């Protein structure tokens, strides 16, 4: 009986250690500035637990997509994120075939300037079947509209492979967040500077059930570089 009790105790300790390790990730082992982005896919999250996490300096929330899609968790998320003293920004998933003015109107209805701590971010992941030339013409018209609406250039999010294939040398005037889920830092073919790196789509954090996207600043880049100028 004593031996069984010792085995059970050992198992409990092992499981507890595993539970701790579950949340130990990059932000616990480096000195870069870290943050997360999330959307309705994470469901209702416990913002008080996220707010207590000193390693998380910022959060980007999905606001809109295309011309008429609104993330149904955005209003709740931005209110609770602010209540828990997080620096918050909103992002829009860009659809190249949808009229730019329609997309801007959709985004601005949710991404209200007075509620933003961080630059608006444009999520660029698809050409929607357009050629690179036509896609870029569509995208940069939209980026120009966003800049005029908010009086500052938006942050652009895209994948490393997508950038190298379609955006090489075209985003020099913009700060960029690059998604690359590897153990090594991304390097783009044109060698340009990367402001932020989304290093995993399968991160874990207390307050969120399931996976979450995590990112960090590269090199000496700091949070102040993406602050929304009011």
Structure confidence at residue 17 (pLDDT) = 39
146-189 pLDDT per residue, tens: 999 999 999 999 999 999 999 999 999 999 999 999 999 999 99
What distance lies between CA 165 and its chain's CA centroid? 21
Dihedral of CA atoms 96, 151, 219, 21 in degrees, nearest 10, equals -70
DSSP letter (8 states) at residue 163: I
Integer Cα distance of 25 and 128 in angstroms? 34
Percent of the chain clearing pLDDT 90 (strictly above): 80
pLDDT of 83 higher than 70 = yes
Q: Is 58 exposed, middle or buried (0-12, 13-18, 19+ CB in 10 A)?
A: buried
| CA angle centred on 139, ends 60 and 191, rounded to 5° | 75
What's the mean pLDDT in 60-72? Answer: 98
d(CA 84, CA 97): 37
Look at the block and give the residue holding tokens 């300096």. 57
Q: Dihedral angle at the C-alpha atoms of 51, 193, 228, 50, nearest 10 degrees?
A: -10
Q: Look at residue 5 in the predicted model and tell me its pLDDT.
A: 47
Looking from the CA of 205 toward its CB, the CA atoms found within 13 Å total: 32
Closest CA to 159 of 194, 191, 130: 194
């Amino acid at each position: 009986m004593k031996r069984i009790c010792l085995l059970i105790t050992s198992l409990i300790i092992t499981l507890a250690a595993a539970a701790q390790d579950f949340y130990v990730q990059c932000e616990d082992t480096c000195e870069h500035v870290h943050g997360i982005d999330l959307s309705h896919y994470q469901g209702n999250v416990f913002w008080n637990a996220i707010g207590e996490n000193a390693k998380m300096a910022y959060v980007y929330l999905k606001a809109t997509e295309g011309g008429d899609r609104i993330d149904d968790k955005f209003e709740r998320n931005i209110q609770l994120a602010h209540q828990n003293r997080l620096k918050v920004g909103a992002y829009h998933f860009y659809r190249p075939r949808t009229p730019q003015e329609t997309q801007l109107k959709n985004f601005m209805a949710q991404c209200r300037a007075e509620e933003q701590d961080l630059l608006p971010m444009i999520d660029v992941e698809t050409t929607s079947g357009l050629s690179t030339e036509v896609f870029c013409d569509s995208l940069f018209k939209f980026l120009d509209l966003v800049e005029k609406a908010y009086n500052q250039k938006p942050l652009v999010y895209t994948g490393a492979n997508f950038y190298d294939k379609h955006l090489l040398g075209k985003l020099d005037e913009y700060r960029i967040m690059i998604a690359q889920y590897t153990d090594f830092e991304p390097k783009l073919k044109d060698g340009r500077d990367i402001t932020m790196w989304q290093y995993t789509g399968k991160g874990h954090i207390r307050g969120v059930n399931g996976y979450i996207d995590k990112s960090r600043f590269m090199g000496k880049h700091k949070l102040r570089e993406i602050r929304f100028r009011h």
